[in-house]
Structure 1
Amino acid sequence: MPASTFGPPATCALGRAARELGLSRDEFDLAVQLGRIRTVPGGSGGAGRRVERAEIDRLRAQDGFPEALQEQVRVVGTAQGAALMGIPAGRFTRLARLGLLAPVAFHLNRYRTVVWLYMARELRDFTSDAENARLLKGRTPETLRGLLEAGVDLRARNWRGRRLGFLLRRAGDPWARAGAVAAFLAPVEVADIVRDPNERACLNRALPAPPAHGVPGSPAAHLAERLMTAQDTDEIEWLRSELTRAIEEARALPPARRPAGRGAGPGARRTARPVAPMARTVTRTPELMARACEPGGEPALRASERCGDGPAVRPPSPSAARDRRPGQGPHRRARGLRGWLRRREPRPVRA
């Protein structure tokens, strides 16, 4: 018997990998998005992605594990980030709104307010750069103050850019890349580019799952959906051009051109055919029989039977058919040798 039968599995689930690496699930997901942890497809059957045992062993063998790995994915909010950079929280927010500090994630508090999260490592790198010293102390430059007075806020846009990069790195085919781009466009924009219903069906199947924030349909979920959708004109135009290019590449794949169904290829999954409702049995009343005897009356009778006019008769159950005895209603004549012998028996003569 091979040793691999009782040996450790080659891959493990994401939750177990996070526990073995000393990370919370949010930290683990962020490490996957940043490319710190490599995952592999879980195989057929929609098992999701998994982590190879060799990848876990590689991370555990690094120097300073697990503190070094935890520090690479540590995120901070506005107050903690400002304290880390040694600046007031108001200046930190202004730098983030100008797009100089890009958030990596967000969550909604109990008041449904967006709380942006930033990589602690990136904030330290920004502070240590000598070119950014004038932004951390002193008066904000006039051009940047004008953008702030105009209401510029690039935090959501920068987060969408990081999210799109993660989805494109994980995409394995042109349809998945097209779905990653379409996830940041409004449905009306996608419908304007992808007009073929079959191609739109393929695109909808390739759409990635949105970040889970609240119950679907709740105000928190709607707010997260709005943050996921591009708002600026130049961002929308760039995404539209990227989606157009991705769709053109996906059209070169004949197997993925049509949805799974009849004529979609030998390996396509068949879709269930709609089953027509059972025709209703109609009792042939004397009036219907009289019309059937008239010239041209039989087609009308059949049409009435097909449409189900008249009272419906419930078909007898199998148990009722078995319990039926001669003399308790119409029954079929027995077939075979047994029926032939029964018909040959002499009937008793009544005195």
Structure 2
Amino acid sequence: MSGTIAKSDRLTCAPSRAARELQLKRGEFDLAVNLGLVRTVPDPGGGGPRVARAEIDRLRAEDRFPDALRERVATAGTHEGAEIMGVTPTRFTSLARFGLLVPVRFYLNRYRTVVWLYPAEELRQFAAEKSNARLLTGRMPEEVRDGMRAKLDRRPRNWRGRHIGFLLRQAGDDPWAHAAAVACLLDPADVVDVVEDPHERDRLNRCRPRLPAHGAPGSPAAERAQELMTASEPDEVAWFRADLAHTMETARRQHPAPRPSPEPALRQEDRPALPDHAPSHGLLGWLRRRSRWPTG
């Protein structure tokens, strides 16, 4: 086993080392992995994902390295994104709330206001698409204005839709990892309703991927972030529940959840005898006292 791990260390490297060799900040590297720009491989030693040396060599050999790779993982908030697209921040926000621009990340600022971030490259592509010209200038289409009047905001749902794609890519063909990825974006009550067996839920928890952290556990910021990361719209919840139920059927069939071995029953001769001086209560005590009564 140690030889296998040593060989793996030569052929692959940890994410932190890969980020340095690709000249990316760790957040940029993680986003590159999520977007599928950097391919990872499982660690044969049971750790987290690793990056093959060949993958690093491939990326380093690309034109304009590392600038081109950094551009592909660059993100923009509302004001910077509006500048990229050549629109006002108000119009940018309307397009994002309507669901036409899909955030890739979010964070809560010191006022606990949600700040959404978008891939800068996608914003440039959106602005360059001729069919989107009517969205960038002039009067906003009626359907978008109707959505704004109704206070429609699809940004949280779009983030969840994008993030489940990241998680399922990492899960690969493992049905338990797939089910855990879906479960982590559902309300716990929904998970309990779909997966009634506590042993199966325990296994799901062990496979559960880590969601982005926002503030200390239990803090208002963490609670607000958890709301954003939890499916909330009825049709969305129904889709997640159906996917979880379907994947759990595959997981049960291929790799049933382990269960504790039942305690062996004690044989009559192995049961401890009750001492004569032990207190006698109830029916058992009455029978013992009766057995000592004189007969005849």
Q: What TM-score do the two structures reach when normalised by structure 2?
A: 0.84
Given residue 259 of structure 1, which amino acid in structure 2 is its aligned partner? P
Count of matched residue pairs: 266
1:55-94 to 2 correspondence within 5 Å? 55-94=55-94
Task: Give the corresponding residue for 1:170.
Answer: 170
After TM superposition, give the deviation of residue 126 of structure 1 in Å: 0.6
1:63-212 to 2 correspondence within 5 Å? 63-172=63-172, 173-212=174-213
Task: Give the corresponding residue for 2:19.
Answer: 18
Q: For each residue in 1:63-108, what CA deviation from the matched residue of structure 2 results, as whole angstroms up to 9, or x when unmatched?
A: 1100111111111110000011110000000000000000011112
After TM superposition, give the deviation of residue 42 of structure 1 in Å: 2.2
Distance 1:16 1:7 in 2: 14
Task: Specify which structure has the bigger relative contact order, considering alpha-carbon pairs within 8 angstroms and separated by 6 or more residues.
Answer: 2
Tell me the percent identity. 57
Task: Give the corresponding residue for 2:247.
Answer: 246
Q: Which runs of 5+ in 1 are unaligned?
A: 264-295, 302-351
Task: Give the corresponding residue for 1:309.
Answer: none
Contact 2:28 2:73 in 1 (8 A): yes
Distance 2:76 2:61 in 1: 27
The alignment status of 1:27 with 2:28, answered yes or no, reads yes
Match of 2:278 among 287, 295, 300: 300
Distance 2:275 2:77 in 1: 83
After TM superposition, give the deviation of residue 260 of structure 1 in Å: 5.8
Q: For each residue in 1:235-291, what CA deviation from the matched residue of structure 2 results, as whole angstroms up to 9, or x when unmatched?
A: 1111111111111111112xx32336438xxxxxxxxxxxxxxxxxxxxxxxxxxxx
- Judged with a 3 Å threshold, the aligned counterparts in structure 2 of structure 1 residues 16 and 85 are, in CA distance, closer, same or farther, namely same
Distance 1:218 1:161 in 2: 25
Given residue 55 of structure 1, which amino acid in structure 2 is its aligned partner? E
After TM superposition, give the deviation of residue 35 of structure 1 in Å: 0.6
Q: For each residue in 1:181-206, what CA deviation from the matched residue of structure 2 results, as whole angstroms up to 9, or x when unmatched?
A: 11111011111111122222222222
| Rg larger in structure | 1
Given residue 125 of structure 2, which amino acid in structure 1 is its aligned partner? D
Q: Which runs of 5+ in 2 are unaligned?
A: 263-273, 280-296
Contact 2:95 2:144 in 1 (8 A): no
**2:133 counterpart SS class:** helix
Q: What TM-score do the two structures reach when normalised by structure 1?
A: 0.71
After TM superposition, give the deviation of residue 7 of structure 1 in Å: 12
- Judged with a 3 Å threshold, the aligned counterparts in structure 2 of structure 1 residues 43 and 262 are, in CA distance, closer, same or farther, namely farther
- Judged with a 3 Å threshold, the aligned counterparts in structure 2 of structure 1 residues 6 and 237 are, in CA distance, closer, same or farther, namely closer
Task: Give the corresponding residue for 1:219.
Answer: 220
Distance 2:7 2:101 in 1: 50
Distance 2:59 2:128 in 1: 28
Contact 2:199 2:259 in 1 (8 A): no
Bigger fraction of residues in helix: 2
Distance 2:106 2:259 in 1: 37
1:322-341 to 2 correspondence within 5 Å? none
